[in-house]
Amino acid sequence: MGYKRGHWLLFLLFLIGFFPEMVKAEEKIVRVAFDKSLPPFSSMEPDGEFTGFTIDLIRAIASQNDWKLEYVPLEWEEAVGALHAGKVDVLLGMKYTNRYDQVFDFSESFFTMSEVLLVPRDDQGIYTLNQLSEKVVAVQRAHTSMDLLESVRRVKMIVSFSQLEALANLTRGRADAFLGNRWTAEYILRKENRWEDYSMRSGLINPTDYAFAVREGHSELLDKLNEGLNQLYRDGTYTRLYSHYFEPYSPHLTDWWRKLVIGLLLVLAVGIVSLLTFFLWNKRLQAEVKRRTAELADVMVFQRKVLDHTDSAILSLDTQGYITLVNQVAITIFPIQKEMLGRHILDVLPQLPWDACCLDRSRQYEGEIHDERSFVFHYYVAPFLNAMSEHVGWIVTVQDRTEQKRMQTRLISQEKMHALGQLVAGIAHELRNPLTAVKTFIELLPKKVDDPRFRSELLRFVPEELERMNRIVEELLDYSRSKPLLIESTSVADLVYSVVGLFVRRFESEQVNIVVDISDQLELQVDRGRIKQVLINLMLNALEAMAGSTEKQLQIKAGKKRDGVWITISDTGEGMQKEQQSRLFEPFYTTKSQGIGLGLYVSQKIMREHSGQLEVSSVTRVGTTFTLRFGQEDHDAEAVDRR
């Protein structure tokens, strides 16, 4: 019994010692990053203590939520990077911008932050941001002040890692001006008793909300921050902290008003001097206006010269279609009796689709029109918008394309005549050879009609030559018209062997090794006669390509893939170059000494009628392979263009 009591005693002692650790484990740790050189908002003292307005705010919020804060003092750019990388949970103080809003979430604003342009008090040349051109400006890296200077031409920036370093560049004479945090600048200069040495020009620049920033999507932490801020407003903690950090530096406002009153009294006392100064300043302004007006006039003259020296007519219209501006080309193209300015566009271009433009003012219109002088014009109409994206008129450009159209017509006519000449020459050449052979046999017929050998040659060669002429005529007919397909189930092997049988003697005489690898079960739904015509044409091309080869081999294979049947015919001929391959299927194009260039064109046409493709791959001095693909309508048609 005493043994059990001892165990219970040890267990109670364990709980007593472990319970505070359990409570401590439940305490949430929040990692906060801040700019360590941004007083009075946040700074790290030499003794390592962290002070500032935002530091005290997060401490007050942490006490409400039982958070344990882990401080991470960094340079501003490093602090932003740490939050983006997830190394910290909260960034104490960030100006709200659209760029940051895309990657971070912001709490409710607890301060209105603005930049200030600070220059030495005796400087009389810098009063606005635009006057910073050719000046040296001290700024902080990754600060919004750098974005403000992007619109200033030829400005030179000295970039520092903190506001303190940037301000030091001004006080040491390295920069002409400082652009940065207005409160930090005043805090440092007053602390160094140098506030009266500098003047704020264009104060309160770009005022924006200043808030806590968390990583995007951390809504729970963001809600806690917003609840904490609201509680600080209600219990007066925020007002107390604001008064502690910022009211000591507010008396300068009273000083400013006092100086203003003194200045007004001085102005009243020296009114004559002020009037003289105003007169001189007015003279200076008039001279500046005159100079700027002259510059503007030069720009307008230059723009006018550019408009007048283009090759297109340019007209601007108001919203009702009345002409407000024309260039010299427009006056030349449209020789109307009265001046064009103030007239309606339909008086100049009655064929313009003005009704359509009025119905939809957001579109752009272009096209061609013909006038009564047989001129051809290409027009382009675009809506003209002002800086507020409001429709205020139209821009019309017109280009005279009459001569271009005439040239195109002449070129097309020449191309047709060239193609016709090729066609006639090919037909004449192809028909002359068989007709010569037939004529020879007919002339010898009376003399050698009884010669058995002559009769044998007559019966052999005359039908072949007639068939040759018939084939030429059939190719021409296939080129000019389409025949209905007679689709039937056909054995691929039987179809190929029936064509190979036509060339057996030629294979033997020319010592061509023929290899056929086709399954007997492979079938196609095709027009047997048409596909046979394609195979005959491809085999004839292969035999002619291998005429000069030492090793002659014709290989025919077939198979099935992706619900489609393919047939390949490969030779070991001379091959083709890329330029030849690119034009291979064009009508009337041929590389043969005899031929009219219709065979492959007709073959491709037959394959497309079967929803198929005729493809080719060739390597010079290696050989050529033609591939017939059936039943693959989704096959990439661009494969044909690889020739």
Task: Judge whether 400 and 330 are in contact, CB under 8 Å.
Answer: no
Q: How far is CA 379 from CA 326, 356, 368, 403, 531, in A?
A: 15, 14, 6, 16, 50
Phi then psi dihedrals of residue 565, to 5 deg: -105, 140
Residue 488, strand partner residues: 526
Q: Of the given ranges (78-82, 260-264, 526-530, 577-581), which has the lowest mean pLDDT?
A: 260-264
DSSP state of 483: P
- Determine the Cα angle at 294 with ends 292 and 300, to 5°: 105
- The whole-number average pLDDT for the span 93-102 is 88
Of residues 387 and 237, more confidence is placed in: 237
Task: Judge whether 113 and 95 are in contact, CB under 8 Å.
Answer: yes
| Closest of 63, 57, 60, 64 to residue 41, by C-alpha | 57
Q: Identity (one letter) of the amino acid at 242?
A: Y
- The whole-number average pLDDT for the span 45-63 is 92
Q: What is the pLDDT of residues 423-443, one digit of tens each?
A: 555 566 667 667 777 777 787
Q: What is the pLDDT of residues 280-312, one digit of tens each?
A: 888 888 888 888 887 777 776 666 666 666 777
Residue 584 CB coordination number (10 Å): 22
In what helix (H) or strand (E) does residue 316 lie, and over which residues does it extend? Answer: strand 313-317
User: What's the token pair of residue 347?
Assistant: 């008086």
Task: Judge whether 475 and 602 are in contact, CB under 8 Å.
Answer: yes
Long-range contacts of 225-228 (CB under 8 A, 24+ apart): 225/61, 225/90, 225/107, 226/107, 226/108, 227/64, 228/60, 228/61, 228/64, 228/65
Question: Is the confidence at residue 409, as pLDDT, over 80?
Answer: no
Name the 3-class secondary structure at 385. Answer: strand
Residue 613 CB coordination number (10 Å): 21
The burial of 555, by beta-carbon neighbours within 10 Å (0-12 exposed, 13-18 middle, 19 or more buried), is given as middle
Question: Is the confidence at residue 16, as pLDDT, over 60?
Answer: no
String of DSSP letters for 484-529: PP-EEEEEHHHHHHHHHGGGHHHHHHTTPEEEEE--TT-EEEEEHH
Task: Judge whether 425 and 597 are in contact, CB under 8 Å.
Answer: no
- Determine the Cα angle at 241 with ends 239 and 244, to 5°: 110
Task: Judge whether 121 and 201 are in contact, CB under 8 Å.
Answer: no
Task: Judge whether 162 and 121 are in contact, CB under 8 Å.
Answer: no
pLDDT recorded at residue 433: 66
User: What's the token pair of residue 169?
Assistant: 């560049």
Q: What is the pLDDT of residues 110-142, one digit of tens each?
A: 998 888 899 999 998 888 888 888 999 999 988
| Closest of 143, 141, 80, 90 to residue 114, by C-alpha | 143
Q: 385-399: b or e for each residue (b if 16 or more CB lie within 10 Å)?
A: eeeeeeeebbebbbb
Q: What's the pTM?
A: 0.39
Residue 213 CB coordination number (10 Å): 26
CA 268 and chain centroid, separation: 63
Sorted by sequence, the CB contacts under 8 Å of residue 452 that are 6+ apart come out as none
Residue 175, strand partner residues: none
User: What's the token pair of residue 209?
Assistant: 């909300």
Of residues 619 and 465, more confidence is placed in: 619
- Determine the Cα angle at 507 with ends 506 and 511, to 5°: 115
Q: Of the given ranges (273-282, 580-589, 597-606, 619-628), which has the lowest mean pLDDT?
A: 580-589
Domains (range + CATH), the chain = 28-258 (3.40.190.10), 310-400 (3.30.450.20), 405-476 (1.10.287.130), 485-642 (3.30.565.10)
Q: What is the pLDDT of residues 205-223, one digit of tens each?
A: 888 889 999 998 899 999 9
CA 533 and chain centroid, separation: 48
- Secondary structure tally for the chain: helices H, strands E: 21, 24
pLDDT recorded at residue 24: 45
d(CA 603, CA 614): 8
pLDDT band at 517 (very low <50, low <70, confident <90, very high): very high
User: What's the token pair of residue 182?
Assistant: 């207005």
Task: Judge whether 623 and 570 are in contact, CB under 8 Å.
Answer: yes
